[in-house]
Amino acid sequence: MDGARYHKRILNPCPTTATSKADIIAWLTSKGVTFESRLTKAELLVTVKANREQLQPIEVIWGIVKNKIACRPSSDMADLERRLKTHFAEVTSSHWVSAHDKCCSFEDAYMEAAENEILALEAEPSEEADGNLLEASSESE
């Protein structure tokens, strides 16, 4: 394909910071993503970006093949197709295991960050608890 705009057009693009909160919510709903209604626009955008390339082993493998192709660009499509098949055939099970391990390390880092965020939110006193404390202190006086 050439670089024409109609070849690069994405039909249902991911929301960006320029997207309104309502449109982000509509996009997430259309994708079947569950989220809390109280989330801010920034928090919703973090949810949008949950499908990160770092979590996809195929993206790591594609990067290996793409780098080999980029080192010596093909002169025509037949050559490109032949070289792609050759380079994909060179991908071994050890490459896949390495790609999987790399993705798991990113996943572990994301999970740790999410757990830390949850713990921080749970540690914050809620407004309701503050109200109950005020009521209890006024009753004891």
Higher-confidence residue of 138 and 53: namely 53
Same domain, 70 and 111: yes
Same domain, 83 and 139: yes
Higher-confidence residue of 18 and 37: namely 18
Range of the domain at 39: 1-51
Tell me how far apart the alpha carbons of residues 121 and 141 are, in angstroms, rounded to a whole number: 32
How far does CA 128 lie from the centroid of its chain?
34
Same domain, 134 and 66: yes
Same domain, 15 and 70: no
Mean pLDDT for the stretch of residues 107-136: 71
Predicted pLDDT of residue 62: 92
The total of other beta-carbon atoms located within 10 Å of residue 72's CB is 9
CB 99 within 8 A of CB 60: yes
Number of domains in the chain: 2
Same domain, 57 and 124: yes
Predicted pLDDT of residue 8: 67
Comparing C-alpha atoms, which of 41, 43, 56 is closest to residue 118?
43
Q: Which residue has the tokens 């949008």?
A: 48
Q: What is the chain's mean pLDDT, rounded?
A: 81
Comparing C-alpha atoms, which of 75, 59, 77 is closest to residue 67?
59
Same domain, 98 and 140: yes
Predicted pLDDT of residue 133: 52
Same domain, 29 and 88: no
Predicted pLDDT of residue 134: 52
Same domain, 65 and 47: no
